[in-house]
Amino acid sequence: MTQVPSPQLTLPDGVELVPGRGGLPAVRIDLPGCTGEVYLQGAHVTSWRPAGGDVLWVSEAAVFRTGKAIRGGVPICFPWFAGGVDGTSTPAHGFARITEWNLVGATVDDRSVELKLALTDTVDTRAMWPHSFAAEYGVRMGRDELCLTLAVTNTGDEAFTFEEALHSYFAVRDIRQVRVEGLEGASYLNTVPGEDAGPHVQDDPIGFTGETDRTYQGTTATAVIRDGDRTVTVARDGSASAVVWNPWVAKSAAMSDFGDDEWTGMLCVETANAKADAVTLEPGAEHTMTARITEVDHGQEALIGSS
């Protein structure tokens, strides 16, 4: 069922609820400092443009359809990551990214817009995951930062354990020239099929020469994407896992919602609590996880400084 804003919610100037691609309801943001887009299905951020090109990446082959995950942007993985701790949970990455969220708040100031979206358990979710919960998602975007905050509360009478991720896809110029810094010294599991799962230790900045799928565990470090003269920073709070992923050639060709040659222009650096870092909540307890994303284009800075 399609969710709509609360009847008491008045959207401020620069924020509009519109039919998005595939007819899915979307919140369009158009402010002097940035533009953006958030789909109510999955509370899915598909665009953040503080200046120039979009910081986020969405596949040209992405499918916008009820109940189908959107390939790109920032999907929310909850209450499990991939197939869950034991690998048997379905749908992949949980139900939050394919379920309609309710838009419950929208405010604008002179620097940013902040949206609040909410999701609670239903008969359908309890059939997949038999727990009572309330989730609130805050999306604050402006010219300087995209801040994403996922708060999960146990509203039931028994403890539960969950995984979560803000599965952020970033646009890059050429993945073969990209480096990710900040995770040196962290332990990771390698989940590329046929390769040694580990655990391994990251000795150097991460470079990309083939399919990469790593879950870094027990680390709160900020990840820094070096993309030529452009830097994207992913700072995390309440997150002990980071996931780094690029499908490379063969896996890209195998995915129907991913263009065969698009792997060169994207990189996932995700804010997560997965595998050994899964979160256990007692009744009434809340856990909050935040990703703070910033971009600096040093080439653009140099142009401004010389003007």
Tell me the one-letter amino acid at 26. Answer: A
Q: E-assigned strands of 6-43?
A: 15-19, 25-30, 35-39
Cis before 7 (ω within 30) = no
Respond yes or no: is residue 287 known to be catalytic: no
Is the separation of the CB atoms in 253 and 194 below 8 Å? Answer: no
Q: List the catalytic residue out of 37, 167, 211, 295.
A: 167
Calculate the alpha carbon distances from 53 to 43, 238, 285 in Å. Answer: 22, 29, 40
> What distances in angstroms separate CA 265 from CA 61, 129, 243, one per listed residue?
14, 35, 18
Kindly report whether the peptide bond that precedes residue 50 is cis, defined as omega within 30 degrees of 0.
no
Give which of 161, 149, 154 is closest to 105, Cα–Cα.
149
Verify whether residue 270 is a known catalytic residue: yes
Cβ neighbours of residue 78 closer than 8 Å, sequence gap 6 or more:
94, 95, 96, 97, 135, 150, 152, 162, 163, 164, 165
Burial class (CB in 10 A: 0-12, 13-18, 19+), 242: buried
Q: What long-range pairs does 122-125 form, CB within 8 A, spacing at least 24?
A: 124/95, 125/95, 125/99
Q: Is 44 helix (H, G, I), strand (E, B) or coil?
A: strand
Radius of gyration for the chain, computed over Cα atoms and rounded to the nearest angstrom: 19
Classify strands 187-190 and 25-30 as parallel, antiparallel or unpaired. unpaired
Catalytic residue, chosen from 145, 164, 270, 295, is 270
Instruction: Tell me the C-alpha distance between 306 and 304, whole Å.
Output: 5
Catalytic residue annotation: 167, 270
